[in-house]
Amino acid sequence: MIVRRLRRVGALDPLGWASARPARSHRLRGLASVLLALPLVLGLIGLPANAPEVRGDQLSDARAQQAQLKKQAADQAAAIAQLQALQAGLATEIAQTRIQLNGVNADLQAVKTRIGRMTTRIYAVKYAYAGLIVQLSDLDEHLAQITAQEQQKQVELQARRDLLADHLRAAYDTNRTSLLESFLSGGTFTDLLTQMSYTIDIGEQDKALAEQIVRDQAVLAALHQNVLDTRTQTETLRVATDTQRAALASSLHDLKVAKAQLAKLQAQVARDLQHQNAAYATILRNKHDAAKALAAEAAAERRLTSRINQLIKEQTSRANIPSIYNGTLEWPMSGVVTQEFGCTGVPSEPPLGSCAHFHQGIDIAAPMYTPVRAAGDGTVVFAGPNPYDPYPKAWIVIIAHSTQLTTWYAHLDNGAHGIPVTAGQTVHAGDIVGYEGMTGRTTGPHLHWAVQLNDTFVNPRLFL
């Protein structure tokens, strides 16, 4: 108190402070340094830094998130690729089915099988698409979480920066008033030691705080990168799901159209078969007559085949028929296939092998007098009514494409249009050889088209 009063009145200062203030400041700083070092030597201070609690695993967690995001991105790309492959396969299947349905004389059983496969593919696509939707939802949730983490870390970092700034300002203000000045201004030695201890402790805290800020910045940078990566990944997935949703909707529509078209064709075939079976039912009421009729048809066919073979030999000897046919066959007429080749439920067909009823050709229904065309290049070996048929006789054209391959066109019209070709005539694929009619044992206009290979009737579709 005495010293403070002397300074105020300008009395003689034993250390010369009043007369030389800069020297006084320099000496005070030097003395303060000695006094600051004194407690360390005496061991009077050395309190813990009490630094803020630091989670050292935050940066590791953020980097682990980055690694997880990369793996998720790879899995996501694989899932998208798988879905795209499924969609492409489905689109191809649907396109082929539509071509098959819109083509000439669709094989309805084959189309039905194909539609069954497409339906299975649709379920697979839906399942894969649902998986992408779940991934998108998870990414949206994850993005919200790490965005919140980033914002929280920004708040923590700013708070630590503000605290460090306050400490630096306080330290600056403290340095402007030396500890010795504080002691000489009235503090006790104990107060001086306490002040010194606090000053040194704050310095350790500031160092720890600064180190934590550095760590926070690294964590924040990693979190921010995670946010950017997740946002990019989310948008990529969102675009992919939108694209796949549109593709799936298109496939579902096309499949629905194909199913409706198939159902329409099946209904038409069912109506034609119903009329045909109704007419045959009259014959079948008398089983004896029915069996007799079937036997007569089979015998007529065998006898006609034998004659055709003889005619082919005659034409071959004249070099009119090649030994080998190079090429494929074409449909002789467009229409609705009412009966395929093979085992059938139509009772008017004769038995063969293990089948109670077997159809040895393909029946094509179309409007009356529809032109019937040659399925390939060849020589007409027979044209006219089957001489071995019981009444009513079917009018037939048979073309030899080689010594082993012939095509049969039965139930042709014999009226006003007649048959425009004769035996021995050379024809080319697409030439008109007759017109659809109702000759023979038939209930409606249709063409029975058959392919015979080495005296055995085979499925015509194998040659198309």
- How confident is the model at residue 130, as a pLDDT? 87
- How confident is the model at residue 44, as a pLDDT? 32
Give the distance, in angstroms, between the CA of residue 307 and the centroid of all CA atoms in the same chain. 58
- Residue 277 structure tokens: 């079976």
Number of domains in the chain: 3
CB 13 within 8 A of CB 172: no
Residue 76: inside a domain, yes or no?
yes
Q: Are residues 249 and 164 in the same domain?
A: yes
- How confident is the model at residue 422, as a pLDDT? 93
Q: Are residues 268 and 296 in the same domain?
A: no
Residue 277: inside a domain, yes or no?
no
pLDDT (tens, 9 = 90+) of the chain, 464 residues, equals 333 333 333 333 333 333 334 444 444 344 343 333 333 333 333 333 333 343 457 778 878 887 887 887 788 888 888 888 888 888 888 888 887 777 667 777 788 888 888 888 888 888 888 888 888 888 888 888 888 888 988 898 888 888 878 877 776 666 655 555 655 555 555 665 566 565 555 567 777 877 888 888 888 888 888 888 888 888 888 888 888 888 888 888 888 888 888 888 778 777 766 666 665 666 556 555 666 666 777 777 778 888 888 888 888 888 888 888 888 899 999 888 888 898 877 666 777 778 877 888 999 988 889 999 999 999 999 999 888 777 778 899 999 999 999 999 999 999 877 899 999 999 999 999 999 998 887 767 889 999 999 889 999 999 98
Closest CA to 378 of 407, 405, 410, 400: 400
| CA geometry: angle 61, 62, 68, nearest 5 deg | 85
Residue 279: inside a domain, yes or no?
no
- According to DSSP, residue 394 is labeled P
Q: Are residues 235 and 352 in the same domain?
A: no
Q: How many CB atoms lie within 10 A of CB 311?
A: 20
Q: Are residues 9 and 78 in the same domain?
A: no
d(CA 125, CA 114): 16
> What single letter denotes the amino acid at residue 231?
R
d(CA 400, CA 392): 25
Q: Which residues contact 341 (CB under 8 A, 6 or more apart)?
A: 359, 360, 361, 362, 457, 458, 459, 460, 461
Q: Are residues 173 and 208 in the same domain?
A: yes
Assign 3-state DSSP to the chain and report helix, strand, coil percentages, each to 5: 60, 10, 25
Q: Are residues 291 and 260 in the same domain?
A: no
- How confident is the model at residue 150, as a pLDDT? 86
Closest CA to 397 of 377, 413, 383, 385: 383
Residue 259: inside a domain, yes or no?
yes
CB 406 within 8 A of CB 310: no
Q: Are residues 72 and 114 in the same domain?
A: yes
- Three-state DSSP class for residue 363: strand
Neighbouring-strand partners of residue 363: 339, 448
Closest CA to 66 of 227, 177, 210, 175: 227
Q: Are residues 294 and 198 in the same domain?
A: no
Q: Are residues 394 and 365 in the same domain?
A: yes
- How confident is the model at residue 149, as a pLDDT? 86
- According to DSSP, residue 409 is labeled E
- How confident is the model at residue 279, as a pLDDT? 58
Task: Assign residue 372 the CATH number of its domain.
Answer: 2.70.70.10
Q: Are residues 388 and 297 in the same domain?
A: yes
CB 355 within 8 A of CB 370: no
Q: Are residues 9 and 98 in the same domain?
A: no
Residue 278: inside a domain, yes or no?
no
Residue 327: inside a domain, yes or no?
yes
Average pLDDT along the chain: 76
Structural domain boundaries enclosing 32: 2-42
- How confident is the model at residue 126, as a pLDDT? 87
In 285-339, alpha helices (H):
287-317
d(CA 296, CA 284): 15
Closest CA to 410 of 425, 402, 399: 399
Q: Are residues 87 and 196 in the same domain?
A: yes
